Structure 1
């Protein structure tokens, strides 16, 4: 963590620099106290300019007025240009760079132009008046233009910082909205998972009641199915409610409509239909399966289905029609691995299809429910690759036994 030291509410480095600048101007005034025109009176004017420069960042317009007034005193006294008059250029630079309004800087430049003519008139020497005035004008004009350029760049940087801050707030708001939307969808899917489990438990409990006297062994098996299904449903509820805890109550406004295709439970058995739809949309999909698919909890099947759906949707949107996609499902002893790779060589879509979720954010939210991992990124050979690893439950799902 970086600690910024401050003094009087300003960065310590800025305060030290301003003190050094004011000290240099005061030194110019004190160095010529004996020999310069005006003597100690001129020195006091120079010291006054130096003190005013201490506030050039916080009150640039007021500092410019004070320095200009002291310069007018110097002109009226006809002391001519002195070494500490560099304070005039410093004040001009400060009001142009730090002034709240550009008008103050323009007005200061006009006053400085008049001062150039007066200073040239009071400069002793054999050089022509117009040459002296031109030299003073070039120096003053250069300082004014440099300050204008620095002011423009400073305001540009400030605008970029404000824009970046605004975009960051918008991204955070969009992320929160996306998470809330995805959690709402998970809450709706929770109904299907729990309803299915409860239906199985009821069927098996009724079967056990009728078979208790006729076939005790069959009744014990049915009761075991009830217990296993209940534990599985409880685990699903804990995982999903853990994700939804911060999102507030959802789905309390009314019953879920089972006919809505977004609400019905999707399983891996429907994966071929999903691939067929994307093939019809123009993707060249090659699907491989490694290992024997085990019995998976309904929620885990749904997560795999949604991950594949979102990955293929992203491939269609970004790689385009005609892109080659490799979908690989690998079933190992402890996890299910989903890998989707596209070559990025398709044709751009005229009208991109709607996303099945909220991109990687939605997939990460779903994968996190089952303590899985997701990696995604561009390939050196072109295209995009995504890999999801979902750990399998410790005990496989129990097959349903009809009563």
Structure 2
């Protein structure tokens, strides 16, 4: 990170440069006090110009007026052009470069043109006055044109910076909107999961009430289902509240989550539907090979939904970026601690002719879903070519442990 030092609200480097310029004008004014026309009175005029130049960046128009007024005093006193008149050129350069309106620079150039004629008329010499005026005009015009060129470049750079800032704001706004949309979608799906669990609890509780006298063993089983389902629903509710909170932003990669066929909005998806999802993407042109390692445990509905959506978004990105005909490997690894999802493609497909409608936000959506279950997401290019997505989702603890932790 670059640290910019300031003095009186101005960059320290600029202040030091302006002080050096003013000191130079003072130096030549004092050094010429004995030999120059006007003596020490002319030196005071030069010192006044030098002091005014200290503010040439912040108040260029006012500085130019002050310097021009002091130069007029010099003309009225008939001292002729002096060495410290370089301050006039510096003021002219400053008003053209730093002035809020170019009109001030044009007006300063017109005043400088009149000053050129007056200075040429008071310049002692053996050559004709118009030759001297032409020389002064060339120098003054060159300074004005250089300042105009620097002003143009400065304004161009400022416009680029402003445009970049605007684009960054727009990108941040779009990113926040995408996060909000994805979190709303996740919250809606988790709400459906919790509602389903509550329905199961009600049905089992009603059944247990009627079976207490007829079949106590079956009633106890029903009550256990109610308890387990209630704990699971409570955990899903905690996650739902976490999604709705204003958490920090995840990552944005710009992918928009192309899907082949959108699922009905209120249908609860499960791992049993993964083969149908893979078949749809296979029909869309991907060459998919699926591998399952380990015995699939009984997962909470919300976690099943997350695994399903991760695979869906990863295949979507593979179809969009790797293209039709790409080889994709989907690996599901189940262990006692976590579910590991890996989706790898070789990146050797053909571009899509007409992309299907978007149904998510790519890596952004995956990141949000994985974060809900305290998982980890790794995505990036493969050394051998193509792209890989790896998600690790820790399995929830036993119900009894959850109750103690709560």
Q: What TM-score range do you get, normalising by the shorter chain?
A: 0.7 to 0.9
SS state at 1:377 partner: strand
Q: Which residue of 1 aligns with 2:166?
A: 166
Aligned equivalents of 1:127, 1:286: Cα separation in 2: 94
Q: Which residue of 1 aligns with 2:325?
A: 322
Tell me if the contact between 1:295 and 1:396 (Cα under 8 Å) persists in the aligned partners.
no
Q: Which residue of 2 aligns with 1:205?
A: 205
Gap runs ≥5 in structure 1: 248-259, 398-403
User: What is the aligned counterpart of 1:305 among 303, 308, 314?
Assistant: 308
Q: What's the CA shift for 1:120?
A: 4.3
Q: What's the CA shift for 1:214?
A: 4.1
Q: What's the CA shift for 1:114?
A: 4.2
Q: What's the CA shift for 1:297?
A: 0.7
SS state at 1:325 partner: strand
2:232 corresponds to 1:229? no
Q: What's the CA shift for 1:201?
A: 1.9
2:372 corresponds to 1:369? yes
Tell me if the contact between 1:286 and 1:327 (Cα under 8 Å) persists in the aligned partners.
yes
> Larger deviation: 103-112 or 285-294?
103-112
Q: Which residue of 2 aligns with 1:182?
A: 182
> Residues 140 and 265 of structure 1: is their aligned pair in 2 closer, same or farther, counting only changes over 3 Å?
same
Q: Which residue of 1 aligns with 2:245?
A: 245
2:363 corresponds to 1:360? yes
Q: Which residue of 1 aligns with 2:80?
A: 80
Tell me if the contact between 2:228 and 2:399 (Cα under 8 Å) persists in the aligned partners.
no
Aligned equivalents of 2:308, 2:209: Cα separation in 1: 36
2:185 corresponds to 1:220? no
Q: Give the 5 Å matches for 1:325-364.
A: 325-364=328-367
Aligned equivalents of 1:194, 1:112: Cα separation in 2: 80
Tell me if the contact between 2:231 and 2:399 (Cα under 8 Å) persists in the aligned partners.
no
Q: Which residue of 2 aligns with 1:255?
A: none
> Residues 117 and 239 of structure 1: is their aligned pair in 2 closer, same or farther, counting only changes over 3 Å?
same
Q: Which residue of 2 aligns with 1:250?
A: none
Tell me if the contact between 1:325 and 1:340 (Cα under 8 Å) persists in the aligned partners.
yes
User: What is the aligned counterpart of 2:284 among 251, 271, 281?
Assistant: 281
Q: Which residue of 2 aligns with 1:23?
A: 23
Q: What's the CA shift for 1:26?
A: 1.8
Q: How many residue pairs align between the two structures?
A: 385
Q: Which residue of 2 aligns with 1:252?
A: none
CA RMSD of aligned residues (A): 2.6
SS state at 1:224 partner: helix
2:292 corresponds to 1:296? no
Aligned equivalents of 1:381, 1:135: Cα separation in 2: 69
> Residues 350 and 69 of structure 1: is their aligned pair in 2 closer, same or farther, counting only changes over 3 Å?
farther
Aligned equivalents of 1:97, 1:170: Cα separation in 2: 31
SS state at 1:205 partner: helix
Q: Output the TM-score relative to the length of structure 1.
A: 0.86
